[in-house]
Structure 1
Amino acid sequence: MSEANIDIQLLDDVMNKTVVSVEESKEKIFEIAENAHKENNFITLELETLRNEIDLVITQTDELEWKAKQARQRLANISRGFKRYSELEIREAYEMASQMQIQLSLSRDKEKHLRERRDELERRHRNILNTIEKSENLISQMGIVLNYLQGDLRKVGIALESAHHHQLLGIQIIQAQEEERKRVARDIHDGPAQSMANVALRSEIVEKMLNQNRIDEAKVELRLLKELTRASLVDVRKIIFDLRPMALDDLGLTPTLRKYLEEYEKRHHIETKLTLLSPERRLQSSIEVAVFRLIQESLNNTAKHANAKQVEVKLEFKPNKVLFMVADNGIGFEKQAKGERPQFGIMGMQERVKLLQGTMKIESKPGKGTILFFGIPLRIEENTKAGGSEK
């Protein structure tokens, strides 16, 4: 018995050291990602400045080419009528042609140098974006490892008999959580974070314009900044709604769906319809959230891929389960070949349904639209509650 206790203590010590090591590695990767983000912002600003400078140099080069051509033409005319011009005029024409040619050569060299610098920065920019993507994926994966190490595995000695079952279930839950966090992080990165970086960039441009007394141009940039800030606010509110629609807690599933479908129709210009096949009722909070998320993801897939004009959501409350479907009249798709992995959105829904011990079925044909069927079982306490309310 004492030997078993010693083994468990040793296992816990090893686990603690592993957790510390993984946490330190995660922090280092996070620092790499942060530095890459900073360098990305710097390169973006430098690239925009450089592109503006290239445009200016190209304009100057075009003007110099025209002036050099005019100077050469004048020199050619003088050469043909040499006796009609004074020595001073001949010397001035020659010096002008020579000066224009030198300025043109310098301008072309400057343009070439700027283009090479731009190409180098664009290569660095691509590498930085690749570094950011890899580091964020690593952070996400290490988050899964940490959550798992800090969860059921740290009690492995106590729950040894059911370890295999808890291990599989724990991994599925943590993966679902991490995918959700990754999605939110991606939404923030692609939306508000990019907008904020753009705001910072535009602010520096406005500051330069004001320092150069370019008031009118600065006013135009400030108007763009205002529009960009408003758009960022809309993105933030959308992300907050996606994280947790407050109406779910206050009003329940059906009213929240109606509100969401109204916004969806305005945003994507797709006609929507909600059909209830039974009297609506409140479900357990976790079930209402799960049903809403599955319908939301289905509608997102319709907006992204289906090219549909209409979409209908049907909802039915049974005594022991909730049934719902999402049907569109879009382009549809071919049935997947055996062994072929489904799209990421479909995979996420399948995993969510699997964790809820529910069912999911997809019917689709090219040109015939797509229908997604879901069935989510209700818990025992939910069934009892439903039965009591019906009495």
Structure 2
Amino acid sequence: MDTSIVVPLHAHSAAALASDAQQPEPRPSDRLASRSRTARKPAAPATHAASRDEVARLQARVRELAAELTRTQEATRRQVAHELHDSVGAELTAARFALAGIETWLPADAPAQCATALATAQRSLDAVTEAAQHAVADLHAPTLDKGIVNALSHWTHSFAARTGLRMSFVCAADARLTRLSADASLAVFRVAQEALNNVAKHARAAGADMRIETTPTHLSIVVSDDGIGIPPHAGQDERQFGLAGMRARCNAFDGELRIAAASARQPRGTTVQARFAWKALLGNASRPRARRTAIRL
């Protein structure tokens, strides 16, 4: 005869209830350990995906703001260049004619100091005119029809002639450099231009070297000088050295700006490295093997 007892799965037997009643109360340390194990559980995949999406959204917003900043800077450059060329240029021309008239009207027995003063004023006026012309040239967007390498080669040549600095320009022969858009080429050019202008204004250097380097993922502009090194207060006011604008142009193309002061390997000077991501510059482009060639100025 079958003597087994069938207990429904949803019911609790008296023995089970008694067993539960005899279980000791969990200690506080056990509860803490249980909570710790629960806290260490890996986050759900959906949470990771949401975090990645948020990071991507923020990075895209940074790129948008950086691009807007560079567009504003270029508009300001055009406006200042226009004012210098038209308004300041016209005033300088008027002053030049006025000085020429005074020199003509001076009597033959005029004191020698008058002629000396006029010559000094003329030299000062010539210096201001030349400085204004250089400023207008720097402010205007460069001609990029023949590519970024050609534009930088010509500009560094004129920079060396104007400043008297020894210059070298070394460029990676990478086919992707010929496929840069106008906006990308302008960003690369402006960063290199600002870096070299800082050398002329602040470094007290005898020479500077500029390199265009490429990797499968990045294009880099590297500018090194043999001057006194970056001032300690440079990071406090980046506007004085144009660093804020340089960073913005790098950020607009998923890049970054690095500044290295003197070190054991480089006892003097400063090195500026501006990196731009190829993916942002070109999209999904092919990645040909790069080789080096040097142009000595």
The answer to whether TM tops 0.5 is: yes
Structure 2 vs 1, CA of residues 343 and 331 (structure 1 numbering), >3 Å: closer, same or farther? farther
Identity %: 20
- For the pair 1:176 / 2:70, whether they are aligned, the reply is yes
Deviations 1:85-121 (CA, angstroms, capped at 9, x unpaired)? xxxxxxxxxxxxxxxxxxxxxxxxxxxxxxxxxxxxx
Which amino acid in the other structure matches residue 176 of structure 1?
Answer: T
Aligned-pair CA distance for 1:314 = 1.3
- For the pair 1:296 / 2:196, whether they are aligned, the reply is no
The RMSD of aligned alpha carbons is 4.4
> Partner residue of 1:358?
255
Spell out the pairing of 1:1-391 with structure 2 (5 A cutoff).
172-186=66-80, 193-204=87-98, 232=129, 235-236=132-133, 239-240=136-137, 242-246=139-143, 248-249=144-145, 251-279=146-174, 281-285=177-181, 286-335=183-232, 340-344=236-240, 345-365=242-262, 368-379=268-279, 382=282, 384-387=284-287
Aligned-pair CA distance for 1:284 = 1.6
The answer to whether the 8 A contact 1:335-1:365 is kept is no
Aligned partners of 2:131, 2:231: CA distance in 1, in Å? 36
Q: Which moved more, 1:192-201 or 1:228-237?
A: 228-237
Length-normalised TM-score, structure 1: 0.46
More strand by share: 2
Deviations 1:29-77 (CA, angstroms, capped at 9, x unpaired)? xxxxxxxxxxxxxxxxxxxxxxxxxxxxxxxxxxxxxxxxxxxxxxxxx
Aligned-pair CA distance for 1:203 = 3.6
Deviations 1:258-311 (CA, angstroms, capped at 9, x unpaired)? 211111111111101112345464132222221111111000000000001111
Which amino acid in the other structure matches residue 191 of structure 2?
Answer: L
The answer to whether the 8 A contact 1:199-1:229 is kept is no
> Partner residue of 2:6?
none
Higher relative contact order (CA 8 A, sep 6+): 2
For residue 227 of structure 2, give the secondary structure of its aligned residue in structure 1: coil
Aligned partners of 1:279, 1:305: CA distance in 2, in Å? 32
Aligned-pair CA distance for 1:206 = 5.3
Deviations 1:142-172 (CA, angstroms, capped at 9, x unpaired)? xxxxxxxxxxxxxxxxxxxxxx999876655
Aligned partners of 2:271, 2:246: CA distance in 1, in Å? 14
The answer to whether the 8 A contact 2:256-2:274 is kept is yes
Deviations 1:182-221 (CA, angstroms, capped at 9, x unpaired)? 34544565676434213324545656776x685999x997
Provide structure 1 residue ranges, at least 5 long, that are not aligned to the other structure.
1-163
Which amino acid in the other structure matches residue 377 of structure 1?
Answer: A
For residue 71 of structure 2, give the secondary structure of its aligned residue in structure 1: helix
For residue 276 of structure 1, give the secondary structure of its aligned residue in structure 2: strand
For residue 357 of structure 1, give the secondary structure of its aligned residue in structure 2: coil
The answer to whether the 8 A contact 1:319-1:383 is kept is no
Aligned-pair CA distance for 1:179 = 3.3
Aligned partners of 1:181, 1:276: CA distance in 2, in Å? 29
Aligned partners of 1:174, 1:333: CA distance in 2, in Å? 28
Structure 2 vs 1, CA of residues 382 and 347 (structure 1 numbering), >3 Å: closer, same or farther? closer
Aligned partners of 2:272, 2:91: CA distance in 1, in Å? 39
Which amino acid in the other structure matches residue 274 of structure 1?
Answer: F
Provide structure 2 residue ranges, at least 5 long, that are not aligned to the other structure.
1-57, 291-297
Which amino acid in the other structure matches residue 194 of structure 2?
Answer: E
Structure 2 vs 1, CA of residues 365 and 193 (structure 1 numbering), >3 Å: closer, same or farther? farther
Aligned partners of 2:174, 2:246: CA distance in 1, in Å? 26
The answer to whether the 8 A contact 1:327-1:372 is kept is yes
Which amino acid in the other structure matches residue 287 of structure 1?
Answer: A
Aligned partners of 1:342, 1:241: CA distance in 2, in Å? 19
Q: Which moved more, 1:339-348 or 1:267-276?
A: 339-348
Structure 2 vs 1, CA of residues 233 and 383 (structure 1 numbering), >3 Å: closer, same or farther? same
Report how many aligned residue pairs link the two structures. Answer: 223
More helix by share: 1
The answer to whether the 8 A contact 1:268-1:303 is kept is yes
Length-normalised TM-score, structure 2: 0.58
Which amino acid in the other structure matches residue 164 of structure 2?
Answer: H
Which amino acid in the other structure matches residue 340 of structure 1?
Answer: Q
Aligned partners of 2:237, 2:138: CA distance in 1, in Å? 30
